[in-house]
Structure 1
Amino acid sequence: MDVNVWWLAYPLLGAAVGFFAGLLGVGGGGIMVPMLTSLFLAQGFPQAQVMHLALGTSMAAIVLTSVSSLRAHHRHGAVRWDVVRLITPGILLGTFGGTFIASRVDTVPLAIFFSLFMAYVSAQMLLNIKPKPSRELPGPVGMSAAGLGIGGFSALVAIGGGSLSVPFMSWCNVKMQNAIGTSAAIGLPIAIAGTVGYLVNGWGAPDMPPLTLGFIYLPALVVVAATSMFFAPLGAKLAHRLPVATLKKVFAGVLVLLSAKMLHSLFG
């Protein structure tokens, strides 16, 4: 297929990622990873590396979108910076360490793990699962342990951590508005640590396509990130006019279908 087709596919992907991020307040990894995996396979990239390239490229793209999201929530006073300070050391260590695990797992098992995690995220959305508040936030040691777990899982599936950190903070009696805003702030260290980790682990990997930096494919990163930042404000504006509860259910179905398509591409 002509190379110009991919320059069309990447901005369309970025538009979808940005729109849903603004509309539903979700990170783009659930869309980016399966779509990039399928696109990379179609471009003839080595199957052994496509999942790692998709994860690394998604993490790098999330850096820019997380900055925008953090600023918006901070302006509304929704970020609990005391929580951010306590959890960030564990987040950085867990995310960076998680990239070392991901880089040593073969593409197919990694894709299966990603798909199962997306099924969990989709179930959260479809059933509107929220843990009952039952306790206070733990101390520094407990917060570091929570950060390790959230960061590690986030690195393995290239997400900003919201599907884990929001339920954790809600369980610890943090108001939902603050849990969402604080999760947006936590997404930045997750994205930075994950990007550095995938860059380091992919450095010098064999049979990599041109224009890669570690496990980051630069053309996809630049185009997807640029278009997603443009479409995120549009999604945010429409969030107050469209039936978001219904759209979340549609989005959950889309995540499952994209993951299934990715698995079909790999096994096919």
Structure 2
Amino acid sequence: MSAELVWFAAGLIGAGLLAGFVGGLFGIGGGVVVVPALYFVLTALGVPEDIRMHVAVGTSLSTIISTSWRSLAAHTKAGAVDYDILKAWAPWITVGALLGAVAAGFASTEVLLIVFGAGLLLIAAQMGLGTPDWRVAQAMPTGAPRAALGGGIGFFSAMMGIGGGAFGVTLMTLCGRPIHRAVATASGFGAAIALPATLGYVVAGWGREGLPPYSLGFVSVPGLLALAALTAITAPVGARLSHRLPQLTLKRAFAGLLALVALNMLREALS
């Protein structure tokens, strides 16, 4: 095995184990960990600058296909998913995800870094400062606001490489949905985003020069397989620890770390 593949494998192992643990501990998608980790691994491996963020985002989205559907099935079995919300919002989220993948195919690495960094700062602020008791409405939006917000969740999640859970949970709790229902229903948002967005990244990156070994467009197949397996190992560990550790303190500390990662990504884009 070449040194390049050894380093790529080591980076995938670290990102996968950490992403699964963080997802289980805090209930957020692993994309917030996987994307920056993969970006810096691909940088170290010398993947061309103009495609490395695309590969990181596309590969992250591909891992969400299976995890989001497994999560949705588990929440459905527990009776926690609000399917009225999911059925009304999923079409708009899917359209937004497709548009986001198309836009990413034309976007530069700098643009994707700025979108990811800005979005991650918002997620960090919500984790560190927000509370489930905040409300701006007593019901979910309908009509044109639903189309705009749903499309926006899909669009920016596809450009960031995340499942939409962070945005979806925040929106639903602000609109009066209980936190456990919001988390369960938002797992369906990930299912609506991941497959169409991944296919978009495959098509957008097909035949591009400088891709990592064994890639389908902007999706690294070894990355998909390794990350999917590794996150499944550590997610239950994080979930068990979430009931034993001081969640508020941990969330605020992790929010601070996410903010630093976000600022570093923005620095990469602007330097």
Give the TM-score category using the shorter length: over 0.9
Alpha carbons 1:135, 1:173 under 8 Å: kept: yes
Equivalence for 1:158: 161
Of the three residues 32, 35, 40, the one matched with 1:33 is 35
CA distance in 1, matches of 2:163, 2:146: 17
1:111 Cα deviation after fit: 0.5
Match of 1:72 in 2: 74
CA offset digits 1:153-211 (Å, max 9, x no partner): 11111111122212222233222221111011221111112111111111122332331
Provide the residue aligned with 2:22 in structure 1.
20
Percent same amino acid at aligned positions? 38
Aligned-residue CA RMSD in angstroms?
2.0
Match of 1:170 in 2: 173
TM-score normalised per structure 1: 0.92
- 8 A contact 1:79–1:181 mirrored in 2: yes
**Residues paired across the two proteins, number:** 268
CA distance in 1, matches of 2:24, 2:137: 30
After superposing the two structures, state which structure 1 stretch, 247-256 or 30-39, moved more.
Answer: 247-256
CA gap 1:95/1:201 in 2 versus in 1, 3 angstroms? same
Distance 1:263 1:38, change over 3 A: farther
Alpha-carbon distance in 2 for matches of 1:257, 1:225: 26
Does residue 228 of structure 2 align to residue 232 of structure 1? no
Contact 2:11 2:37 in 1 (8 A): no
CA contact (8 A) 2:100 2:158 kept: yes
Distance 1:145 1:259, change over 3 A: closer
Deviation at 1:129, TM superposition (A): 4.8
Q: Does 1:180 align with 2:183?
A: yes
2:135 counterpart residue number: 132
Q: What are structure 2's unaligned runs of at least 5 residues?
A: none
Matched letter for residue 2 of structure 1: A
Q: Structure 1 58/236 Cα, relative in aligned 2: closer, same or farther at 3 Å? A: same
Please tell me whether the aligned partners of residues 47 and 266 of structure 1 are also in contact (alpha carbons under 8 angstroms): no
| Match runs of 1:185-224 below 5 Å | 185-224=188-227
- 2:241 & 2:70 partners in 1: Cα distance? 17
Shift in Å, 1:16: 0.4
